[in-house]
Amino acid sequence: MARIEVIMPQMGESIAEGTIVKWHKKVGDQVKKDETLLEISTDKVDSEIPSPGTGVLVEIVVHEQTTVPVRTVIAYLEGEGVQAGPIHAAEAPAPPAAVPQAPAPAIAAKAAPPEGRFYSPLVLSIARTEGVPLEELQHVPGSGDGGRVTKKDLLSYLATRGQSAKAPQAAAPSMGASPVPAPPGAVRPLGGTADVEIIPMTVVGQKMAQHMLHSVQTSPHVAAIHEVDMSVVVQHRAAHAAAFEGREGFKLSFMPYIIDAVVQALKKYPMLNSSVEGTNIIRKKFINIGVAVASDNGLIVPVIKNAEEKNFTGLARAVHDLAERTRTRKLMPEDVQGGTFTISNYGVFGTLIGTPIINQPQIAILGTGVIQKRVVAVNDGITIRSMAYFTMSFDHRVVDGLLGGMFLDQVVRNLQGFDPATKI
């Protein structure tokens, strides 16, 4: 039998660490090569990680909710046909009596003084967001290797931050003095109470929150709202839905219609397909459409690359593929990178109108509301149409009201002018 190392994979060039979300196997379990062994979370995506070999899971080195750098050994398998890694002299036990002493170095390492220790980018990011200075961070107890502060350590510290300083004051009224009531509107400490639940944010959730805050602080947001008559699109979808599902194996949604309309509008108004770098506007000649997808761990925005090269059916297939891989945690970091324009379909939740936040470094995002039948006036007559509200948030550093309005109007025209004879 040979020992197989399971390492924290590097899920993309910019990924420096990963958090173990869940082990699908426990020590002693048999595991086959490429069978799902664990789930990890990075600052980009959540992914299921397959086993590097066939064997028995004999040791889990890094446990759930722990963040470690990429290429860290996180577990060991005992399998056949794989060359074992080198055994260093310090690791080779001498007499059998030395075996129980093996955990001692790890315990000593964790008790190391906090000064000068390493902090992961994730921990530093949380500390900055929560206003924890480096001087204070050095006093946070660490449970990682060498006393390293993990995400869980910092979140636990934040949950009880400041309570120790208030404890002596709580004990002060011991000589008959009446306790001083809390001032109106005072915020109670979150830790140690039975009527609150502290829920640590996921890695993806933290990054999304930071990304949205950064966007609001970076771009002066302006929103434009147009009403669109989706009747022709609704009728076309209803007429082709059954045949499409029978041929492709998945349901036809409204998203391919919307993406196609956006792509055609971006070709006419390419400035909306740009980003800002310093004092330069970077106008992209390719169109990568991000589509916001709800998942168990929050909102993920996978990207359809080179959407301008795809026909209607190709767009539909791309939307379905990315949505499925988002929900099953099969996305790779490159699947959520490189977007040039984003669409957020909050209408699936029944929302009429929303004002989405721009997905940096893009300069615009389209939000689509629920499609509803409403009574409208058409050619001086009253009729019932399938209507929706589309909102576009755009960066006023690059896009003024005229350009934003013209682009959004073109999207509306593309949908309302959809050819009902189009074959898909």
Q: Which domains are present in the chain?
A: 2-88 (2.40.50.100), 222-416 (3.30.559.10)
The H or E element containing residue 227 is: strand 221-229
- 396 given a catalytic annotation: yes
- 236 given a catalytic annotation: no
pLDDT at 105: 35
Q: CA–CA separation, 136 vs 72, rounded Å?
A: 27
- Give start and end residues of each alpha helix (H) in 7-138: 104-110, 121-130, 134-137
Q: CA–CA separation, 113 vs 140, rounded Å?
A: 11
Q: Which one of the listed residues 236, 396, 409, 419 is annotated catalytic?
A: 396
DSSP string, 344-391: E-GGGGT-S---PPP-TTBSEEEEE---EEEEEEETTEEEEEEEEEEE
Q: Which one of the listed residues 153, 400, 409, 419 is annotated catalytic?
A: 400
> For the chain, percent helix, then strand, then coil, each to nearest 5?
35, 25, 40
pLDDT at 217: 93
From 204, 405, 367, select the one nearest 290 (Cα to Cα): 367
Q: CA–CA separation, 73 vs 76, rounded Å?
A: 8
pLDDT at 264: 97
Binned average pLDDT, 10 residues per bin, the chain of 424 residues: 86 75 92 90 79 92 90 88 38 39 36 50 73 80 72 80 50 44 49 76 78 92 97 96 96 97 98 95 96 79 96 96 88 88 95 95 97 94 97 97 97 96 85
